[in-house]
A = this chain, B = another copy of it.
Amino acid sequence: MNITRKNFKETFPLIVESINEADFLAIDGEFTGLTNGRKSHSFDTPEERYHKLKEGTCDFLLVQFGLCTFTYKHEEKKYISKAYNFYIFPTPLNRQASDVRFLCQASSLDFLARQSFDFNKVFYEGIPYLNPAEEQSLSDALQERHNQSMNNELTYVSPSYESPAFKGPLVIPEEHKSFIADICKKIETFLKDEQETSLQLPVCTAYQRKLIYEAARKRFKMGIQLDTQTAENRDRFIVVKKASEEEKKLVEQKKREADWEELKDAVGFSNVIREITRSGKLVVGHNMMLDLMHVLHQFASPLPEDYEEFKSLAHCVFPRICDTKLMSSTNPFKVNIPMTDLGNLTKILERAPFAKPNIEFAAEEHSYSTVANQLHEAGYDAYITGLCFISMANFLGTFQVPIPSRIPANSPLLEPFVNKLYVMMVVDIPYMNLVGADLKPNRDHVFHVSFPASWRTSDIVQLFSAFGHVYIAWINDTSALVGLNYKDNAGLVMKTIGEGESYKIQTYKDYCQTTQVICQTTAVLKRKVDGSPPVKSPRPPKKRKSSGILNPDLPPTIPEEQEETEHEDLGEPLTKKLRESTTDGVVADIECTSQNERRIKLHPIRANRWHPMSGSSQLLQNVFQLEQGQ
């Protein structure tokens, strides 16, 4: 169901109802761009990745948000789903509101266009939004404006009259004097004519209107009311009406009420996110780190500088999330899933050993067909993400005796995946843990190399050729991180090639200390002894020369079609453990859920840190209260 500015207000109660009755929610977002600035690479720590994405992607805009709710009907043993596809755009409410500047990436818009994305729907009918701080600020400004107009008797104030603090007189320039005199004469005649109740003045410029307001204020002490109106063709003109002081006050009162109503409407789409938060329901997404960051940035609070504060904010807004990309890249799923992109994953999960879940749409307007390829419409992507989640959850059930008919969203079997975000491309740290410390694998086999800009991949391969295959993660034109495939060789590197004329090698540990990257050598994650990361050959960055000519400030290439990341299991095969433990559902080397609860209780205090305005916002307080009550 498409939701735009036109039907948002009337549909909102239905959306809230859908959220409240659901077992879990699935979400997805579409953005105006993906990458800008520093490139992500395969040895990023989750903290580094957060900072790179924060710098690079939050200037882009989330313009479409998909929400699909899934409710299990026990009698019929099937899920009922409702899909909502929201078009979102920050149409400025008024001149006090921020006029958002956002970035677009040509290749991303081209990609969306090829998916028949309707840009006109975004810019014509996008639902506006305000985060709580913006709402508070506009509310304060409106209150101040109302107070001022009450005190100053500025009864002529037009909505576009912006300068209540200005008290200097306005001089009518020579060339406008006859025009203004003519207008005043018209108003005078109008006031004498008892038949007429309103007078439309000719279309004129903003400056001329300002002169008219000023002149009328001086000339006609009372008895009239001026109002600037806009014609359909955007021509603006003033309408003069006769009004007693009583009538004027009534009009002012109505205007004020309309102002408050307008502000309430301007909070718009943010209310959907607030309802999701309030519900406390499990929110499922596919490769959802970017979606989550955009949602927080646009609808909750600008992303914090501090990584721990980000985790806190994310967990406060989404108390319980699950990333299907992380699930599908982890055993017991991984062995049966060669491709984890959403389109292919959906197809794979319909076939054995998985099973297509039993799902029905609540009504025609919510329906999607998995046959019609609507991939990359956010509502559809949210829907199939939910399908994938159900298939995988139910697959976990097949290891139990007896096999349950379905695995609910709150099942302990799912806990190992809850509140962890998939981290793209990183082999040894597959997820960001929102409710605990991140994994800190041993990287003794990784080295930082700096070299001349003329070096290519082959030069690095050559340098390390004595140690077998290597995995190279380019940082920029003149440095890279290099991981040995045969880790046993790690001790030899510094001794044999540690000194070079044209290059410089550091251990990863030394590199981290110099660049203050958070890394420790303690391996929290048990790794399979026989597993080894595959050797990949990332495309070397363009020579600085050619990219500089085209546009020195922008990276020179289109982002590659993201390669499937091949990474290790979360720990020892989950399958066996799942058979042994059905109530706890906790794998020893993954943070356990009892920690989650403690963190949740901490949140109301933490949340105040990331949001200085929150104390005074009723809406955010409600969110907190609900959080505390959990």
- Name A's B-contacting residues (CB within 8 A): 32-33, 36, 61, 89-92, 94-107, 109-110, 112-114, 118-120, 122-124, 133-134, 136-137, 140-141, 160, 162-163, 165-171, 173-175, 179, 203-208, 210, 233-234, 236, 302, 335, 338-339, 341, 344, 373, 375, 456-458, 461, 469-470, 485, 531, 534-537, 539-540, 542, 546-547, 549-551, 554-564, 566, 612-613
Chain B residues within an 8 Å CB radius of A234 = 114
B205 touches A563 (CB 8 A): yes
A93–chain B nearest beta-carbon distance, Å: 10
Enumerate chain B residues within 8 angstroms of A540, measured Cβ to Cβ.
Answer: 163, 165-166
Q: Which residues in B have their C-beta under 8 angstroms from that of A105?
A: 99-101
Q: Which residue of B lies closest to A562 (CB)?
A: B206
B109 contacts A92, C-beta separation under 8 Å? no
Chain A interface, >50% SS class:
loop
Inter-chain contact A206/B137, CB cutoff 8 Å: no
Q: Are A123 and B134 in contact (CB under 8 A)?
A: no
* Chain B, Cβ-Cβ closest to A32: B104
Docked-complex contact B100 and A102, CB < 8 angstroms: no
Q: Are A102 and B101 in contact (CB under 8 A)?
A: no
Is A233's CB under 8 angstroms from B339's CB? Answer: no
Contact across chains for A99 and B92 when beta carbons are under 8 A apart = no
Work out how many copies of this chain go into the complex. Answer: 2
Given A120-B118, A123-B119; A206-B102 close (CB under 8 Å): no
Please report the C-alpha to C-alpha distance between residue A384 and residue B117 in the assembled complex, in whole angstroms: 33
A492 to B308, CA, bound (A): 59
B96 close to A549 (CB less than 8 A): no
Q: Please judge, given known A-B contacts A137-B549, A539-B163, whether A106 and B102 are in contact too, CB under 8 Å.
A: yes
**Which single residue of chain B is at the shortest CB-CB distance from A100?**
B106
The 4 lowest CB-CB distance pairs between A and B, nearest first, are A168-B461, A173-B534, A165-B456, A119-B119
Could you tell me the distance between the alpha carbons of A103 and B104 in the complex, rounded to whole angstroms? 6
CB-based nearest B residue for A91: B110
Q: Is the CB of B106 within 8 A of A103?
A: no
A618 to chain B, nearest CB (A): 18
Q: Which residue of B lies closest to A455 (CB)?
A: B165
Contact A233 B373 (CB under 8 A): yes
Docked pose: A140 CA to B61 CA in angstroms? 35
Which of A36, A90, A558 is most buried by chain B, counting CB atoms within 10 A of its CB?
A: A558
Q: Do A485 and B171 have beta carbons less than 8 Å apart? A: yes
Q: Which residue of B lies closest to A534 (CB)?
A: B173
Q: Using Cβ atoms and an 8 Å threshold, which residues of chain B touch A102? A: 103-104, 106
Please tell me if the beta carbons of B92 and A166 are within 8 angstroms of each other in the complex. no
Could you list some 16 contacts between A and B, CB below 8 A? A91-B110, A95-B557, A95-B560, A99-B107, A99-B559, A101-B554, A118-B120, A119-B123, A140-B546, A163-B539, A165-B456, A166-B540, A171-B534, A173-B566, A175-B566, A203-B344
